[in-house]
A and B are shown apart, each in its own frame.
Chain A
Amino acid sequence: MRPDPQKMLQWIKPSPPTDKELECMKLLQPGDYEIYTEKLNNFLLESKEVFLKLGVSSMLRSGDLVTGIYTPTGDMVAAWCGTYLHAVVGQIPIKYIAETWINEPTVGCKDGDIFYLSDPLYGGIHNCDQIVVMPVFNDGELIAWTNAAVHQPETGACEPGGMPLTAKTRHDEGMLLSPIKIGENFKLREDLVEMCVNLISRAPRMQAIDMRARLSAADRLRGRLVTLAQEKGNDFVKGLFRRIIIEAEEGTRHRIKEWNDGYYRGVTFVDIVGEKHRLVRNFLTLHKEGDQLTWDFTGTSPETDSPQHCMPHALAANVAIHLMSYSFHDLPVSAGIFAPMEWIVPEGCMFNPHFEAAQSNSAPSCHGAMTLGNICMSKLMFDSPQRELVAAATGNTGVGVLVSGTNQWGVPISDFLAFGLNTEGHGARLDMDGVDAYGFSHCPTGRAPDIEDIENEFQFFNLVAKLSRDSGGFGKYRGGSGTEVIYVVNYVDYALYNSHVKGSKIRNCMGLFGGYPPPTLPGIEVKNTNIWEKLKRGDKDIPTGAVQLISERTIQGDYEIGSIFKKVHIMKNGDLWVIFSGGGGGYGDVLERDPGMVMEDLRKEVISRWTAENIYHLAYDHETLEMDEEKTKQLRQKEREDRISRGMTWDAFEKEWSQLRPAEEILEYYGSWPDGRKTREIIRM
C-alpha cells in the first residue's frame, strides 16, 4: 500500500546510526574521509557525464538531472546536483523498496536488479520525473543504492507535455509508476520497456532512449562503488557513508545554533490555477530555536481541482534547493542536513492534497514556496557568520514552454524548449548584482541548450534569444536579468505549443530589504506573419527584441497580447511567439545604487533610460552618456524628501489599506480571505 505522506516526509531525514556503522567509522584513518568523499564525488561526476551523453530529452541535455548514492537503508550519502530536489526525494522510493519489496517473495532484491518509478505518491516529485534505482551488492551483501533521475516532458497524459493544465485528478495524468522491478541481471526487461514506450506514444523515441540513459548512469555509479568496496572492504564503505551523514548533520546543527532565535515569515502569491488566472497564496513561518528549524506552511491556500499541487515531501525537497545551494552549500549533499528540521504542511492545503488530486504541475506549484525559503533564510542569516550568503529570490517563473507534433525529421516529439527554463535571472546579493540568465530554479547548474542545437532538433527558428531589458528587480544591487526568446514555427505546417510560465498578473519572486520584485511577463503571439518574405528579402527592420516587435510592428500579422500562460494550441508555419524567463529580485534601496553601476547598465542596455531616470534618479548627458554626480545626488535627496512627505503613518495606512480587497472572481480558489483557510470540499470523479 502507498506510504503515508507524513511517513514520506520523515523519510527525508537520516535513520539513526547502527552500532555496526559507528564501529565501522573507526576504520577510517586520518585523511580517508577527505580522500574517499572526493572519490565518491568523482564517481558521481562521471555517472552524470554518462547520463548527459546518452540521453535525448531537452532537460536531460541541459544537465537538469541527478545521480545519487544512498545507504542500504536509503539515506542520501552524496549526489551530483544537478537537481537537488531529485536527490532529496530519491531517498523515499529506496526506503519504500527496502521496507516493502526486499522481503516480498514475488519481488525480492538481488544483484543486477533494476527498479523504476515515477509516482509522487511513492516519493517522486511528479510523474514527469522518472527515476531508476539500483541496489549495489558486494560479496553478496547489500552495501548501497544508486539512482539516476531526470524530468521527461511527456507522460501520456490528457495533453502533450507531461504537465496537463486541464488534469482534474491523477487519472488524467498518464503513466504513473509505483516502484517496480523493471529489470534483472543488469538488463531492462523488454516487455516492460515496451509497455512504457507504448504509454508514451507521443514521444516514444525519447522514452526508449532516456530509460536506458538513466540506467547507464546508475549502473556506472554502482560499478564504481563495487570496485571501492572490493578495494577497501564493505565495512569501510559503511563507515565512510555514516561519517558523511554525521558530518553534514553536525555542521548543519552548529550553523543553525549560531543564528538568531525567532519567527521569520513570508507570503507569496501565484496567479495560475488549472487553466485560469486565479489567486492563491503560499505562507511560510520559519521558526528557529536552538539548533532546530521548523518550516510551517500553515496559511497556504487549499487544494483545488487543478494539477497545481505537490506532496509534502516534494515541497520540502524544492525548498531544500536553496538550503543546499546557499545556507549549507559547503556541507555534504546528504540526508544529515535534514536531521535538525521539521516540516508542518497541513492536510488539505495545496502542498498536501488528497491522494486522488492531480499533481503533474508539482514542481511549478512550488515556486512561491521556493521564494519564501530563500527570503526567510536570508533574513535569518543576515546577522550571522553566513551574511555573505544573503540574497533576494531567483526568478522562480518556471519557464515551462512545451512543444509537440512531428519535427522536421519526421520524428514525433513532445519536449521542452529549455532555453528560457535554464536562463532565469538570479536574485541580487548582499554585495553584488544577481547573475544574468543564471540558470534553472530547480537546478542551479543547468545550462541553456545551444540555439543551433534547438533549431536542428525542433521545428522552430529562433529569431531572438537574448537578455531581457529591465527584467531584473531594481535595487542597490540588481536582480539578474531574465531572457526573451522569439520562436517561429519552421519546416512543418504546424506545431502544438503550451506554456506554464507564471507571473502575468503578479510575480511569486520577491526582492529583499527594499529591493523591488521583478516585472510581470506578458504573452505575445503574432499569427499569419510575413516573416519568411522579410527574411528572404533581407529587410533591415527585423525586430531584435520583444518590445521592438510589439511597438514597431514591422512584421505584418495578427498581434495578440495576453497572458504568457497558454493552453495547448496550434501554431502554423510562420506564426511566432515570445517567451520571457523571469528576472531575479532586487536587493536594497534603489537610491543607494552606485550611479556608476546604473550608467554601466544603461550602456549595456540592461536597463532603459526611463528606468535610469525614474527609478535610479540618475542625471546624465543623453548624448555622451556621461554621469552628472552632483545632480544625481540632488535628485536622490529630493526623492528621499518626497518619500517622507507621501508616506503615511501606520494607522493612516491601515485605515486606507483595510478597505481594499481583490475582485471576488480571482479569489475562487484562494480559500477564506485573507488567511487562505479551506472553505469548500473538492469532489473528484
Chain B
Amino acid sequence: MGTKRQITEYLDIDLEKELWCCNRCGYVLISARENYKKGCLVYIRKDLNTIYNSPVKGPFGFAPDPTWAMLVEFYCPGCGTMVENEMLPPGHPVTYDIELDIDKLKEKHLLSGTDKQAKK
C-alpha cells in the first residue's frame, strides 16, 4: 500500500506523489490536486435504453428522455473499471465532486508524531 490512501471505492491518492490512482489496477490517473475525472476515459451514453431496457418507447418510459438527460461514464484507462458516472442534461458541466485539501491530508498521514508536535 505504501503511502496510498483509499478515498473512494475505486480511487486511491498516492500521498507522496500527490496522484489519483486506480484502486484496482494502480493506474495513475492525474494530479491529486485536479478533478480525477479528467484522468479517466469518458463515454457519453446518449441512448439510455442501453441501460434501462424500456418496454415503453417515446417521450415517457423507463429510460430518461435523451433531450433531458445523458449518462457520462468515467472509466479507468488501465482496467476499464467504471470509477463513477453522472446523469446530466446534455452539455451540463461535469461535477468536480471531490476536492481534498491535499496538504492537510499529507499532514495527517505522512508527518511523524514529532513533526506534528513541531508544527503545532
List residues of A whose CB falls within 8 A of some B CB.
260-267, 269, 271, 279, 281, 289, 379, 382-383, 430, 470, 474, 476, 504-507, 510-514, 516-517, 519-523, 547, 550-551, 561-564, 587-592, 608, 610-611, 614-615, 639-644, 646-650, 652-653, 656-663, 666, 674
B87 and A505: CB pair below 8 A? no
How far apart are the CA atoms of A143 and B73 in the complex, in Å? 56
Q: Which 3 A-B pairs give the minimum distances between C-beta atoms?
A: A647-B41, A640-B80, A660-B91
7 contacts between A and B (CB under 8 A): A430-B9, A504-B60, A506-B89, A519-B54, A639-B80, A640-B80, A648-B44
B91 & A511 in contact (Cβ 8 Å cutoff): no
Extra A-B contacts (5), CB below 8 Å, given A261-B101, A264-B97: A261-B100, A262-B99, A382-B7, A517-B71, A520-B52
Tell me, rounded to whole Å, the shortest Cβ–Cβ distance linking A263 to chain B: 4
Q: Do residues B101 and A262 form an inter-chain contact, with CB atoms below 8 A?
A: yes
Q: How far is the CB of B19 from chain A (nearest CB, A)?
A: 16
Q: Pick the contact of B105: A260, A279, A512 (CB < 8 A).
A: A260
Q: A264 to B56, Cβ gap below 8 A?
A: no
How many residue pairs between the two chains, A and B, have CB atoms under 8 Å in the bound complex? 196
Given A260-B101, A505-B64, A643-B75, also A589-B55 (CB < 8 A): no
Q: Which of B71-119 contact A (CB under 8 A)?
A: 71-75, 77, 79-85, 87-101, 104-105, 108
**Is the pair B62, A264 in contact by a Cβ cutoff of 8 Å?**
no
Residues B80 and A644 in contact, CB atoms below 8 Å apart: yes
**Once the chains bind, are A650 and B38 in contact (CB under 8 Å)?**
yes
B26: chain A residues at CB < 8 Å are none
- Tell me the smallest distance from the CB of B38 to a CB of chain A, in Å: 4
Taking CB atoms and an 8 Å cut-off, the chain B residues in 25-52 that contact chain A are 37-44, 50-52
**Cβ–Cβ contact A522 & B61, under 8 A:** yes
B39, B60, B65, B97: residue with the most chain A Cβ atoms closer than 10 Å: B60
Q: Is B82's CB under 8 angstroms from A589's CB? A: yes
Q: Which residue of A lies closest to B83 (CB)?
A: A514
Contact residue among A265, A521, A640, A659 (Cβ-Cβ distance under 8 Å from B99)? A265
Which residues from A are CB-within-8-Å of B94?
A: 657
A611 touches B91 (CB 8 A): no
The 8 Å CB contact of A382, one of B9, B44, B61, B70, is B9
**Is the CB–CB distance between B93 and A674 below 8 Å?**
yes
Instruction: Give the residue name and chain of the A residue nearest to B54 (CB).
Output: A519
The CA of A474 and the CA of B81, in the complex, are separated in Å by 15
Contact of B55 among A505, A551, A660 (CB under 8 A): A551
A513, B83: Cβ atoms closer than 8 Å: yes
Given contacts A505-B65, A522-B62, contact A653 B82 (CB under 8 A): no
Q: Which of B6, B10, B56 contacts A514 (CB 8 A)?
A: B10
**Are A659 and B62 in contact (CB-based, < 8 A)?**
no
Q: Are A653 and B90 in contact (CB under 8 A)?
A: no
Q: Is the CB of A662 within 8 A of B43?
A: no
CB-contact partner of B100 in A262, A271, A512, A564, under 8 A? A262
Contact of A662 among B40, B68, B104 (CB under 8 A): B68
Measured between C-beta atoms, what is the minimum distance from A223 to chain B in Å? 50
Tell me which residues across on chain A come within 8 A of B81, comparing CB atoms: 514, 589, 591-592, 640
Q: Is the CB of B97 within 8 A of A561?
A: no
- State which of B40, B42, B52 has its C-beta within 8 Å of the C-beta of A519: B52
- Would A644 and B56 count as touching, CB distance under 8 A? no
* A674 vs B89: C-alpha distance when bound (angstroms): 10
User: Are the CB atoms of B85 and A514 closer together than 8 Å?
Assistant: yes
A135 CA to B54 CA in the complex, in Å?
Answer: 55
Name, among B42, B70, B82, the residue most crowded by chain A CB atoms within 10 Å (CB to CB).
B82
List, in ascending order, chain A residues with CB within 8 A of B40's CB: 647, 650
With A514-B9, A514-B82, A659-B91 known as contacts, the answer to whether A520 contacts B64 (CB < 8 A) is: yes
B residues contacting A by CB (< 8 A) are 5-10, 37-44, 50-56, 58, 60-65, 67-75, 77, 79-85, 87-101, 104-105, 108
- Closest residue to A592 on the B side, CB-wise? B81
Partner pick for B75 among A289, A592, A647, A666, CB 8 A cutoff: A647
Contact pick for A516, options B8, B9, B85, B93, CB 8 Å: B85
Interchain CB contact (< 8 A) of B53 among A263, A611, A647: A611
Which residues of chain A are near B100, meaning CB under 8 Å? 260-262
A563 / chain B contacts, CB cutoff of 8 Å? 60
When distances are taken between beta carbons in the complex, the residues of chain A under 8 Å from B62 are 470, 519-522
Asked if residues A561 and B79 are in contact (CB atoms below 8 Å), the reply is no
Judge whether B10 and A644 touch: CB under 8 Å: no
Complex Cα spacing A561 to B63, Å: 14
A660 vs B34: C-alpha distance in the bound complex, in angstroms?
24
Q: Name A610's closest neighbour in chain B (CB-CB).
A: B53
A292 → chain B closest CB, angstroms? 13
State A660–B90 Cα separation when bound (angstroms): 5
Roughly how many angstroms separate A663 CA and B9 CA in the complex, as a whole number? 35
State how many angstroms separate the Cβ of A339 from the closest Cβ of chain B: 22
Instruction: Report which residue of A264, A564, A614, A656 has the largest number of chain B beta carbons within 10 angstroms of its beta carbon.
Output: A264
CA–CA, A476 and B44, complex, Å: 21
Q: How far is the CB of B28 from chain A (nearest CB, A)?
A: 15
Measured CB to CB, the closest approach of chain A to B103, in angstroms, equals 9
Tell me, in angstroms, the Cα distance from A608 to B73 when the chains sit together: 23
Residues on B with beta carbons closer than 8 Å to the beta carbon of A649: 41-42
Query: Contacting A561 at CB < 8 Å: which of B38, B60, B91?
Result: B60
B52 contacts which chain A residues (CB < 8 A)?
470, 519-520
How far apart sit A512 and B56, CA to CA, in the bound complex (Å)? Answer: 27
A614 to B97, CA, bound (A): 29
Instruction: Give Cα A647 to B52, complex, Å.
Output: 20
A660 to B45, CA, bound (A): 13
Q: How far is the CA of A260 from the CA of B101 in the complex (A)?
A: 8
- Closest B residue by C-beta to A639: B80
B95 and A266 within 8 A (CB): yes
Q: Which residues of B contact A507 (CB under 8 A)?
A: 64, 87
Establish whether residues A591 and B64, one from each chain, have CB atoms under 8 Å apart when the complex forms: no
Q: Is the CB of B85 within 8 A of A658?
A: no
List residues of chain B with CB within 8 A of the CB of A611.
53
Please give, as numbers and ranges, the residues of chain A lying within 8 Å of B89 by CB-CB distance.
Answer: 269, 279, 506, 662
Q: How far is the CA of A522 from the CA of B39 in the complex (A)?
A: 36
A217 to chain B, nearest CB (A): 41
Contact, CB under 8 Å: A261 / B7: no
> Is B77 a contact partner of A550 (Cβ separation < 8 A)?
no
Q: Which residues of A contact B69 (CB under 8 A)?
A: 269, 505-506
Bound Cα distance from A271 to B89, whole angstroms: 11
When distances are taken between beta carbons in the complex, the residues of chain B under 8 Å from A269 are 68-69, 87-89
Q: Which of A513, A523, A642 contacts B9 (CB 8 A)?
A: A513
Q: Which residues of A contact B68 (CB under 8 A)?
A: 269, 271, 279, 505-506, 662, 666
- Given the complex, which residues of B lie within 8 Å of A658, measured CB to CB? 91
In the complex, what distance in Å separates the CA atom of A639 from the CA atom of B51? Answer: 14
Expressed in whole angstroms, the Cα–Cα distance for A366 and B88 within the complex equals 19
Q: A514-B82, A614-B53, A615-B51 are in contact. Are A644 and B91 (CB under 8 A)?
A: no
Known pairs A506-B87, A513-B84, A519-B63; A265 contacts B95 (CB<8 A): yes
Q: How far is the CA of A660 from the CA of B46 in the complex (A)?
A: 11
Contact assessment for B60 and A657 in the assembled complex, using a CB-CB cutoff below 8 Å: no
Task: List A contacts of B8 (CB < 8 A).
Answer: 379, 382, 513
Q: Given the complex, which residues of A lie within 8 Å of B39, measured CB to CB?
A: 650
A589 touches B10 (CB 8 A): yes
Chain A residues lying within 8 Å of B104, measured Cβ to Cβ, are 260-262
